[in-house]
Amino acid sequence: MEQTIALLQESGAVLEGHFLLTSGRHSDRYFQCAKLLQYPDRAAAAMVGVVERIKGDALCIDAVVGPAMGGIIVAYELGRQLGIPGFFTERDDAGIMALRRGFTVQKGARILLAEDVITTTASALEVARVLNALGAQVVGLACLVDRRGSALTLPWPLYAASRIPAATWDKGSCELCKQGLPLVKPGSRKGI
């Protein structure tokens, strides 16, 4: 985990300030994982510990699936290292998360979810609902950065490359808003 934290810092992926997260929450820290994931060698090095833990647990997985945008490269890299398909879900024209581009899962397929950063786990849960509706079984969640702290529990094992808790607030109770600090939205999702 320390190696991944160092890679995030070396890549300029750890930002400090006042940020609007995809979840709608505010935070004093933002993880721009694309800054690390743009380098294939760093992406591979960051995820190698996750792959070792998955193999050590003898987790039987048929594919890795992550949500667009943040989960695409993480799913690919995990799939590459595990020797299985790695692909993604994305929003359709109505904004609903779906499996598109000809990607399919077989009924009963065992799926590892992949994310760049998890805070509320809402995106992972959304992808799990899509896959479960298609008859697949989610067996775990892997991520580059787990920023949840210990507050949220998951219905599957978590394989995090790093754990870096960061303060988050609802809009109405944000300490940084109270200080009048400008809010920045560096993420990719619109409408938040």
pLDDT at 120 over 90: no
Contact 54, 159 (CB under 8 A): yes
Distance CA 30, CA 167 (A): 10
DSSP reduced 3-state for 170: coil
**pLDDT confidence of 191, banded at 50, 70, 90?**
very low
What's the CATH code, domain 2-178?
Answer: 3.40.50.2020
Quote the CA–CA distance of 26 and 22 in Å, as a whole number.
9
DSSP code of 111?
E
65-74, 124-133, 178-187: least confidently modelled range: 178-187
Q: Which of 50-54, 119-123, 188-192 has the lowest mean pLDDT?
A: 188-192
Residue given tokens 């400090």 in the structure block: 16
Q: What is the pLDDT of residues 91-116, one digit of tens each?
A: 999 999 999 999 999 999 999 999 99
Predicted local confidence at residue 190, as pLDDT: 57
- Domain spans of the chain? 2-178
List the end-to-end C-alpha distance of the chain, in Å, as a whole number. Answer: 31
pLDDT-based confidence at 188, cuts 50/70/90? low
Residue 24 pLDDT class (50, 70, 90 cuts): confident
Calculate mean pLDDT across residues 9-31.
91
- Decide if pLDDT at 73 tops 90: yes
| 11, containing H or E segment | none
Nearest to 124, CA basis, from 133, 111, 114, 134: 114
- pLDDT surpassing 70 at residue 189: no
User: Which pair of structure tokens corresponds to residue 25?
Assistant: 């929450």
**Cβ–Cβ under 8 Å, residues 30 and 7:** no
- Compute the distance between CA of residue 146 and CA of residue 42 in angstroms, rounded to an integer: 18
pTM over 0.85, yes/no: yes
Residue 131: which H helix or E strand, with range?
helix 122-133
Would you say residue 192 has pLDDT above 80? no
C-alpha span between 111 and 135 (Å, rounded) = 11
- C-alpha 164/C-alpha 185 separation (Å) is 20
- In this predicted structure, the answer to whether residue 153 has a pLDDT above a threshold of 90 is no
